[in-house]
Amino acid sequence: MPESIAKQPILSVRDVKVHFQVKGGDKAWPWTPKKVLKAVDGVSFDLYAGETLGVVGESGCGKSTLSRAILNLIPATGGEIVWMGKDLRKGSERDWHAVRRDIQMIFQDPLASLNPRMTIAQIIGEPLRVHRPELSGDEVLKRVKAMMAKVGLREQMINRYPHEFSGGQCQRIGIARALILEPKLIICDEPVSALDVSIQAQIINLLKELQREMGLALIFIAHDLAVVKHISDRILVMYLGREMELAGKQALYAKPSHPYTRALLSAIPIPDPALERAKQIQLLGGDLPSPLNPPSGCVFRTRCPLAEARCASEVPTLRRLDAATQSACLLA
């Protein structure tokens, strides 16, 4: 963890749950009881100023749902979301309006997240018009131009529309929109998954540079563990709505404690052909269980090569193994 990170967290997530009531299907009778889909089921972590927390896991593990619950875009079912010492779940709409000046989001699809009927000047300046209505039009335009320069967009592009830009440029516009209010936290929901590899590197480097310059905290959601390693200080591994491991990046990549983390890391391609052929990939058996009917005990036990009888009855929670690593494995 960087030395610049403060001792007190700016965001504390405590046992957050996001559950949905789901009907039994098209053929279900009106009196058929609804099932509960546990998209996020008891996730906890702290985030510090200037830190980047990577969140990884398979599709459907609850990463994006967790990020939206933090912003109250999806209401959390239980737990606490504490921002700068204040529990946001107990806050009013006015409280949330103030908080959203400090917490912004970058979305996965750069083009779909931009209004096609608005120019770039209008898109980037919209947060200022909502949260800083006292600013004049000239002041808003001045700040928009300054932010465009900061994210690598030319001033001549200011009156163009989103369809006139490439995917990487659209993501730069989304970053500019998120940063225009000078927030303290940016939630990046798979911001590079829709981009080419070379463009991914540019966007990651841009985020790191802006983080150093503005003192941002980041929550970076991704599937690619190689990308997450490049940008993160700590990494949270999720599976079927639950947290499997939380560790510093050096500890996690050098000595992963959870079998699921080891399987994910073994799938990362190695640039050296000889090493790539020689490495052992830990394939997971079976299919990903349905979140409507998760396994008892440890949710990963049906695919775990180390599972024992007690894994079916005991629900593991994060426990600290050393100064850098917490693991939710009974055998860690």
Q: Is residue 75 part of a domain?
A: yes
Note the pLDDT of residue 183: 94
Average pLDDT rounded to a whole number, residues 213-242: 92
Q: Is residue 142 part of a domain?
A: no
What DSSP string runs through 103-144? EEEE-S-TTTTS-TTS-HHHHHHHHHHHH-TTS-HHHHHHHH
Note the pLDDT of residue 279: 73
Could you tell me what percent of the chain has a pLDDT over 70?
Answer: 95
Residues 6+ apart with CB under 8 A from 26: none
The side-by-side arrangement of strands in the sheet containing 217-221 is 103-106, 185-189, 217-221, 52-56, 234-239, 242-248, 325-327, 319-320
Q: Which residue has the tokens 């779940």?
A: 89
When comparing pLDDT for 96 and 175, which is higher?
175
Q: Is residue 125 part of a domain?
A: no
Note the pLDDT of residue 23: 75
Q: What pLDDT digit, counting tens, does each position of 318-332 carry?
A: 999 998 899 999 987
Please, which pLDDT band fits residue 299 given cuts at 50, 70 and 90?
Answer: very high
Q: Are strands 52-56 and 78-83 parallel, antiparallel or unpaired?
A: unpaired
Note the pLDDT of residue 186: 95
Q: Is residue 197 part of a domain?
A: no
When comparing pLDDT for 2 and 265, which is higher?
265
CB hemisphere CA count around 153 (13 angstroms): 29
Window from 7-11, 267-271, 312-316 with minimum mean pLDDT: 267-271
User: Cβ(199)–Cβ(207) under 8 Å?
Assistant: no
**Does the pLDDT at position 79 exceed 50?**
yes
Q: Are strands 185-189 and 242-248 parallel, antiparallel or unpaired?
A: unpaired
**Does the pLDDT at position 100 exceed 50?**
yes
Note the pLDDT of residue 225: 83
Phi first, then psi: give them for residue 117, nearest 5 degrees.
-95, 0
Q: For 182-185, which contacts have Cβ atoms below 8 Å and span 24 or more sequence positions?
A: 182/214, 183/101, 183/102, 183/103, 183/104, 183/216, 184/10, 184/49, 184/102, 184/103, 184/215, 184/216, 184/217, 185/10, 185/11, 185/47, 185/102, 185/103, 185/104, 185/216, 185/217, 185/218, 185/219
Cα dist from 5 to 85, 246, 329, whole Å: 17, 17, 28
Note the pLDDT of residue 182: 93
Range of the domain at 252: 1-23+33-102+217-332
Window from 25-34, 75-84, 102-111 with minimum mean pLDDT: 25-34
Q: How many residues does the chain have?
A: 332
Structural domain total, the chain: 1
**Does the pLDDT at position 1 exceed 60?**
no
Note the pLDDT of residue 233: 95
User: Cβ(71)–Cβ(64) under 8 Å?
Assistant: no
When comparing pLDDT for 111 and 270, which is higher?
111
Note the pLDDT of residue 26: 56
| Cβ count near 128 (within 10 Å) | 20
User: Cβ(238)–Cβ(288) under 8 Å?
Assistant: no
Please, which pLDDT band fits residue 181 given cuts at 50, 70 and 90?
Answer: very high
Please, which pLDDT band fits residue 4 given cuts at 50, 70 and 90?
Answer: very low
Mean pLDDT score of the chain = 89
Q: Is residue 199 part of a domain?
A: no
**Does the pLDDT at position 80 exceed 90?**
yes
- Token pair listed for 174: 């989304």
| CA-based max dimension of the chain | 68
Q: Which residue has the tokens 């931009």?
A: 114
Average pLDDT rounded to a whole number, residues 99-115: 89
Window from 117-131, 137-151, 188-202, 243-257 with minimum mean pLDDT: 188-202
User: Cβ(118)–Cβ(125) under 8 Å?
Assistant: no
CA of residue 312 relative to chain centroid, distance: 29
When comparing pLDDT for 290 and 286, which is higher?
290
Note the pLDDT of residue 25: 56
Q: What pLDDT digit, counting tens, does each position of 249-289 carry?
A: 999 999 999 999 999 988 877 776 776 677 777 778 778 88
- Token pair listed for 160: 């163009």
Note the pLDDT of residue 109: 85
Q: What span, in angstroms and rounded, lies between the C-alpha atoms of 10 and 50?
A: 10
Note the pLDDT of residue 27: 60
CATH number at residue 297: 3.40.50.300
Q: What span, in angstroms and rounded, lies between the C-alpha atoms of 234 and 324?
A: 9
Q: Is residue 87 part of a domain?
A: yes
Note the pLDDT of residue 3: 47
Please, which pLDDT band fits residue 32 given cuts at 50, 70 and 90?
Answer: confident
Average pLDDT rounded to a whole number, residues 59-86: 92
Rounded to 5°, the CA angle 309-61-256 comes to: 60
